[in-house]
Structures are given as structure tokens and as C-alpha cells.
């Protein structure tokens, strides 16, 4: 019956690595006594650690006694192997730390359109910090409808997205970023453009042709559209702006997005004290995603700008 040879060191544990570090110090110091100061432990403790290492390896590593300290032939070979192992571990640690300091890879972001005019500029600041930390990071921004952003994050085409926060989809995580206010606008040429707000009743406003978004919104915001006579639709805010600027439709737009046209005298808000809603925007990532250092760095920067 054949016997299987026992491997005395089938696995290298953290304890083994600690013993090898002590062994290296003992060898480099030339003995147990000289290693006491370097290691910060007593001679008897060092002797015990060396005995533990010899037992773990099944080898006699050194001679110690009145004749002084000396390595055995096996001890010299173990010392050389220990140097290689500890050097490799240090190189691994340095390289991993370097990955944190010098990010590499890509970040693919899906954004709801027309967030860049938000005064907070948190996405812009987070991207700036990411680029500063990782000059070699490749950033791709895709401006797509909110529904497509969520689907892109779900199927892995996007690492992260920013969308209006409605009911959460299964498989996605949402982190609130900020909110924006939307007002009800009409453009020059529309019958209501020069109407006095004090004389403008809700019944007349609700009778006008209006635009409804096709992307998901919270129920309390959908109620604002249900009150209107929505005869057109758009998948994003830019599409809604196109239709409003025809002077034939009314519709809601974020106030930061519409402000330039308001200043130019091309848009006006209808009864802004009452016809408005506040919409929360959130970053969205996939639950259970694989570790992605570039993405985590961007999310950290995004959270830090709150």
C-alpha cells in the first residue's frame, strides 16, 4: 500500500509570513540577541518563534548555543526563498496601492439631458476630481432618455447613470443627488404669452395643447400632467423644449434649463407660484456589481460634493 508524502507547508498563512519576517530579521542581525531591539520582543520569544517556524517547515534552520548563531544549509535556502516571497508581497502591496493612486480604465455614464445648467454642478465637480486622480481614465458620457439610462445600467452597458428619481427598479440602487424645480412655460407667439397671471385661470391653462414626458416620474408629479390637455409627448426635456418653443404648446421645463430663453424674452412661466413641481435626481448603479475602482472613486467624489 503506497503512502502519500506529507507536505509540511501545504498553505502559507499570515502566521507563516510573520514567522518568516522574524527569521529574516534574525539572519540579518546575526542572531537572537541582536534582533531583540529590531523586533521589539525578547530573546526567549524570538527563540520560540524560530522553533515554531522550524516545526512548520519540518527543517532545522539554524544552530544556536555557546558556539553562536549560524544557519544550516537548509536555513540558507529558506532564507533566500523567504527574501523572494517577502519581496513579492511588498511589490504586490505597492502595485495595489499604486492602483488607488493612479486609476486606470474607463467610466461610462448615462445622463438625463440638460443637467449641465444646474447651478450645483456636482457631476462636473466629481468628474474633475476623478480626472485629477486618474489622468489616464477614459470617460464616456451618453446623453439618453431616463428609461434607457436605467436599462443601460441594468444590462451593464453603463457603469452609472443620473436620472429623475421615480419608483425604484429591482436590481438597481439609487442615491439622491439634488432636486430641481420645473415650471410651466409657454413661448412667444402662444396665446397665453402676454396674459396677466392674475387674470389667468387654471381652466384656461388646462385647455391648452400641452406636452407629456414619456419617461417615468413619481405619481405626485404625474398628477401635474394629468391636469393638462396633453396632445404631444417627448422622451426627454430637450424634446419638450423644442415643442414649447414652437409657440403652440405649453409644458414643464427645469427652471435652470429654461432661464436663458426667459432672459431672451422667448419663454415665460405661467403662474409660477402655483404651477411648479420639484423633482429629485439620483445616481443609479447596479446591485451586486463587480468591484470597479474607477466607478467607486467617482461615486465617492459625487457623495463628497453634497
Q: Which residue has the cell 518568516?
A: 20
**Nearest to residue 284, comparing CAs of 160, 146, 139?**
160
**Reduced DSSP (H G I as helix, E B as strand, rest coil) percent helix, strand, coil of the chain, to 5:** 45, 20, 35
267 CB contacts (<8 Å, ≥6 apart)?
185, 186, 187, 188, 244, 245, 253, 258, 261
- Exposure of 247 by Cβ count < 10 A (0-12 exposed, 13-18 middle, 19+ buried)? middle
Q: What's the confidence (pLDDT) of residue 118?
A: 74
Cα 140 to chain centroid, rounded:
14
**More confidently predicted of 202 and 101:** 202
Question: Is residue 288 over pLDDT 90?
Answer: no
Q: What's the confidence (pLDDT) of residue 98?
A: 60
Give 6's pLDDT tier (boundaries 50, 70, 90): low
Architecture of domain 103-305: 3-Layer(aba) Sandwich (3.40)
Q: What's the confidence (pLDDT) of residue 2?
A: 43
Q: What's the confidence (pLDDT) of residue 1?
A: 42
Integer Cα distance of 298 and 139 in angstroms: 11
- Which DSSP category does 197 fall into? G
Q: Please give the grid coordinates belonging to residue 77.
A: 535556502
User: Fold identical between 14-80 and 103-305?
Assistant: no
Question: What mean pLDDT do residues 251-265 have?
Answer: 95
Please answer whether residues 183 and 197 qualify as being in contact, where contact means their C-beta atoms are separated by less than 8 angstroms.
no
Q: What's the confidence (pLDDT) of residue 3?
A: 45
Comparing 86-100, 104-118, 191-205, 240-254, which segment has the lowest mean pLDDT?
86-100
Per-residue pLDDT reduced to its tens digit, 125-180: 888 988 888 888 889 999 888 888 899 999 888 999 988 888 888 899 999 888 89
Task: Return the domain boundaries, the chain.
Answer: 14-80, 103-305
Question: What mean pLDDT do residues 98-107 have?
Answer: 73
What is the assigned CATH class of domain 14-80? mainly alpha
214 CB contacts (<8 Å, ≥6 apart)?
145, 147, 233, 234, 235
Which percentage of the chain shows pLDDT scores above 70?
Answer: 93
Please answer whether residues 26 and 50 qualify as being in contact, where contact means their C-beta atoms are separated by less than 8 angstroms.
yes
Q: Please give the grid coordinates belonging to residue 249.
A: 404648446
Please answer whether residues 249 and 243 qualify as being in contact, where contact means their C-beta atoms are separated by less than 8 angstroms.
yes
Question: What mean pLDDT do residues 274-285 have?
Answer: 92
Question: What mean pLDDT do residues 222-246 have?
Answer: 94
Question: Is residue 96 over pLDDT 50?
Answer: yes
Amino acid at each position: 500500500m503506497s503512502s502519500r508524502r506529507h507536505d509540511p507547508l501545504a498553505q502559507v498563512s499570515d502566521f507563516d509570513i510573520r514567522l518568516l519576517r522574524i527569521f529574516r530579521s534574525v539572519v540579518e542581525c546575526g542572531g537572537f540577541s541582536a534582533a531583540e531591539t529590531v523586533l521589539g520582543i525578547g530573546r526567549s520569544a524570538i527563540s520560540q518563534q524560530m522553533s515554531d517556524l522550524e516545526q512548520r517547515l519540518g527543517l532545522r534552520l539554524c544552530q544556536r548555543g555557546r558556539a553562536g548563531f549560524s544557519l544550516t544549509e537548509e536555513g540558507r535556502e529558506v532564507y533566500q526563498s523567504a527574501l523572494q516571497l517577502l519581496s513579492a508581497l511588498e511589490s504586490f502591496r505597492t502595485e495595489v496601492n499604486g492602483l488607488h493612486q493612479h486609476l486606470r480604465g474607463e467610466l461610462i455614464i448615462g445622463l438625463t439631458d440638460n443637467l449641465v445648467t444646474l447651478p450645483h454642478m456636482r457631476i462636473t465637480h466629481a468628474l474633475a476630481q476623478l480626472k485629477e486622480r486618474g489622468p489616464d481614465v477614459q470617460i464616456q458620457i451618453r446623453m439618453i432618455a431616463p428609461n434607457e439610462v436605467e436599462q443601460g445600467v441594468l444590462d451593464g452597458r453603463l457603469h452609472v447613470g443620473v436620472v429623475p428619481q421615480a419608483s425604484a427598479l429591482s436590481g438597481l440602487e439609487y442615491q439622491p443627488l439634488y432636486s430641481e424645480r420645473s415650471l410651466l412655460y409657454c413661448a412667444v407667439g402662444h396665446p397665453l404669452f402676454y396674459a396677466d397671471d392674475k387674470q389667468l385661470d387654471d381652466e384656461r391653462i388646462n385647455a391648452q395643447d400641452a406636452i407629456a414626458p414619456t419617461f417615468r416620474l413619481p405619481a405626485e408629479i404625474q398628477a401635474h400632467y394629468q391636469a393638462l390637455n396633453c396632445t404631444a409627448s417627448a422622451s426627454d426635456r430637450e424634446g419638450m423644449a423644442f415643442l414649447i418653443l414652437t409657440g403652440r404648446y405649453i409644458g414643464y421645463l427645469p427652471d435652470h434649463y429654461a432661464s436663458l430663453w426667459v432672459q431672451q424674452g422667448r419663454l415665460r412661466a405661467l403662474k409660477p407660484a402655483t404651477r411648479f413641481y420639484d423633482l429629485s435626481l439620483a445616481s443609479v448603479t447596479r446591485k451586486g456589481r463587480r468591484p470597479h475602482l474607477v466607478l467607486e472613486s467617482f461615486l465617492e467624489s459625487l457623495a463628497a460634493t453634497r
